[in-house]
Amino acid sequence: MKKYVFAAASTLALAASSIAQAGPEAEVLHWWTSGGEAKSVAVLQQEFSANGGTWTDMPVAGGGGDAAMTALRARVLSGNAPTAVQLKGPAIQEWYEEGVLADISNVAEAEGWDKVLPASIAAHMKCEGQWCAAPVNVHRVDWLWANAEILSANGIEMPTSWDEFNAAAEKLQAAGVIPLAHGGQAWQDATVFEVVALGLLGAEDFHKAFVELDPTTLGSDKMVAVFDQMRRMRGYVDSNFPGRDWNLATSMVMNGEAAFQIMGDWAKGEFMAAGKVPGEDFLCASAPGAGFLYNVDSFAMFDVDGADKQDGQALLAKLIVGQNFQKVFNLNKGSIPARVDVAMDEFDSCAHLSASEMTASSEEGSLLPSYAHGMAMRGAQSGAITDVVTAHFNSDMSSAEAVKMLTQAVANSL
Ligand code: BGC
């Protein structure tokens, strides 16, 4: 009997202590699984724990987040949405329209987000005037990365035009070097395509084609030239490219197996995580052409029951836009802070280039949303474009045929 009383008392004590310990919790769905990405998300995880939060990790591997978005849909459809989700661009508003996002305006207002975020970034985070997502960073997509030693050994400067890029690639190929490290996955094909498109179309026509979805620009001769360049790019990759993950392509540049990669600055996160030094081991330059393709990572909170989860969402949102987090996270991630008031003195030369060109392009009207990374249009349209890009890249389809398919596919998706 005594024993029973003791057991019951200790059960009560346990229950009481777990109530006392209950606090903010969050299950966080994201696709940050490469070396540099994992190091970055760990910063958020640590800050969350240091502030009393309990983090349940839900990583879904797959660059660009396609697999993560499939997992998200399955969870929401089964009525069991994760508390916080890496989500960006118009997909935020698409989920809001489904009626499944939580309103985080209380946190945003208390923390004065409108005062510390550029208006263009804040606009992506709002749904009918309320705050529905928290921005983490600004990634730039139109970058050229290179192995410094390979370039100097072959007497090659960072190309400043696509003609120079082609000349460099051909020289490298003749010397037995793989010119372009690439992974044959649809989103990587789309990444290269939009970078080439910005370079060859120019900012104004890029906007017409990939923001306004203007059929004349999509079907123009300039677009034929973009596909012609894509055909040349196909010739510069090695035969093992199908299915290769983007970070393995970055490793090829790092290890001297290939000269260049065209990829957003999450690639810099990989170089840095491996201890490589910009300007010494690897080079960064904006890809040929004027403009800046931005890709802002953000987290949206889903409607969930329970005070612990809601507290977790509020804490997470607050930390994400916090000044210290924005610095430390972005030093690891390769991006620059979304906040305008973070000191940049600890950031490297590539980040400084990104920050100054972002300001300049904003003034010149050439700051553009990345289509390949879900910032420019809704999923149905970007999916239609990517299908054509990848079908062209992986076949001998002519450029004229690709442009015809492109205009048709976009028209059908509207
Ligand atoms: C995301 C980055 C991520 C990259 C590769 C992009 O769409 O914005 O944060 O590192 O995909 O997975």
> What is the CATH number for 251?
3.40.190.10
* Alpha-carbon distance values, 91 to 42, 318, 349 (Å): 25, 22, 32
Q: How far is the CA of 65 from the centre of ligand 1 (A)?
A: 7
Strand (E) or helix (H) holding 104: none
In degrees and rounded to multiples of 5, residue 78 shows phi and psi of: -85, 10
Whether residues 228 and 176 share a domain: the answer is: yes
342, 351 in Cβ contact below 8 A? no
Counted domains in the chain: 2
pLDDT for residue 22: 79
CB 28 within 8 A of CB 38: no
Output the 3-class SS for 185-230: CHHHHHHHHHHHHHHHHCHHHHHHHHCCCCHHHHCCHHHHHHHHHH
Whether residue 149 sits in one domain with residue 63: no
In-domain check, residue 290: yes
Domain holding 322, by residue range, is 24-139+295-350
pLDDT in tens, the chain (414 residues): 334 443 444 444 444 444 445 799 999 999 999 999 999 999 999 999 999 999 999 999 999 999 999 999 999 999 999 999 999 999 999 999 999 999 999 999 999 999 999 999 999 999 999 999 999 999 999 999 999 999 999 999 999 999 999 999 999 999 999 999 999 999 999 999 999 999 999 999 999 999 999 999 999 999 999 999 999 999 999 999 999 999 999 999 999 999 999 999 999 999 999 999 999 999 999 999 999 999 999 999 999 999 999 999 999 999 999 999 999 999 999 999 999 999 999 999 999 999 999 999 999 999 999 999 999 999 999 999 999 999 999 999 999 999 999 999 999 999
CB crowding 292-331: b at 16 or more within 10 Å, else e: bbbbbbbbbbbebeeebbbbbbbbbbbbbbbeebbbbbbb
* Residues 219 and 149 reside in one and the same domain: yes
Beta strand 25-30 pairing with 54-59:
parallel
Select from 297, 320, 336, 382 the residue to mutate for testing ligand 1; criterion: most ligand atoms less than 8 Å from CB: 297
In a domain, 116, yes or no: yes
β-pairing, 84-86 vs 25-30, is parallel
CA atoms within 13 A on the CB side of 249: 31
Question: Is 380 found in the same domain as 408?
Answer: yes
Pair (232, 178) in one structural domain? yes
Report which protein residue has its CA nearest ligand 1's atom 10: 266
Tokens of 126: 């709002």
Q: Ligand 1: which residues within 6 Å by Cβ?
A: 31, 37, 63-65, 139, 266, 295, 297, 373
Structure pTM? Answer: 0.94
C-alpha 127 to ligand 1 mean position (Å): 23
Examine residue 301 and state whether it is found in any structural domain, yes or no.
yes
CB 158, CB 287: distance < 8 Å: no
| 3 state DSSP class of 304 | coil
Copy the structure tokens of residue 348. Answer: 């490297």
Q: In this structure, what token pair is assigned to residue 67? A: 């697999």
Query: Could you tell me which of 201, 210, 356, 392 has the C-alpha nearest to residue 288?
Result: 201
- Residue 143 dihedral angles phi and psi, to the nearest 5°: -120, 150
Mutate to test the pocket of ligand 1, among 40, 266, 330, 335 (most ligand atoms within 8 A of CB): 266
The tokens 């029951």 sit on which residue? Answer: 305
User: Ligand 1 centre and the CA of 329: distance in Å?
Assistant: 14
Residue 11 lies in a domain: no
Structural domain includes residue 68:
yes
Residue 263 lies in a domain: yes
Residues 153 and 119 in one domain: no
Three-class DSSP category at 28:
strand
Alpha-carbon distance of 319 to 131, in angstroms, equals: 15
Ligand 1 atom at minimal distance to the Cα of residue 373: 7
Mention every residue, 6+ apart, whose C-beta is less than 8 A from residue 219.
403, 404, 406, 407
Q: Which tokens belong to 104?
A: 């985080």
Helix (H, G, I), strand (E, B) or coil at 296: coil
In this structure, the strands spanning 133-135 and 282-286 are: unpaired
- Please identify which residue in the block is written with the tokens 């052409």: 289
Q: Judge whether 362 lies within some domain.
A: no
154 and 269 share one domain: yes
Q: Are 25 and 83 within 8 A, CB to CB?
A: yes
282 phi-psi bin (left φ>0, alpha ψ -120 to 50, beta other): beta
Contacts of 137 (CB under 8 A, 6+ apart): 296, 297, 326, 329, 330, 333, 335, 336, 337, 338
Which atom number of ligand 1 is nearest to the Cα of residue 246? 5
Burial of 115 (0-12, 13-18, 19+ CB in 10 A): exposed
* Residues 328, 279 within the same domain: no
74 and 133 housed in the same domain: yes
Whether residue 147 is found in the same domain as residue 290: yes
Residue 248 falls inside a structural domain: yes
Say yes or no: 393 and 261 in one domain. yes
Q: What tokens appear for 397 in the block?
A: 């389809």
Give the ligand 1 atom nearest the CA of 335.
9
Is 282 in the same domain as 150? yes
State how far the Cα of 83 lies from the Cα of 98, in Å rounded to an integer: 16
Query: How far apart, in whole angstroms, are the C-alpha atoms of residue 235 and residue 176?
Result: 13
What pLDDT sits at residue 344? 97
Residue 177: both structure tokens together: 């070097």
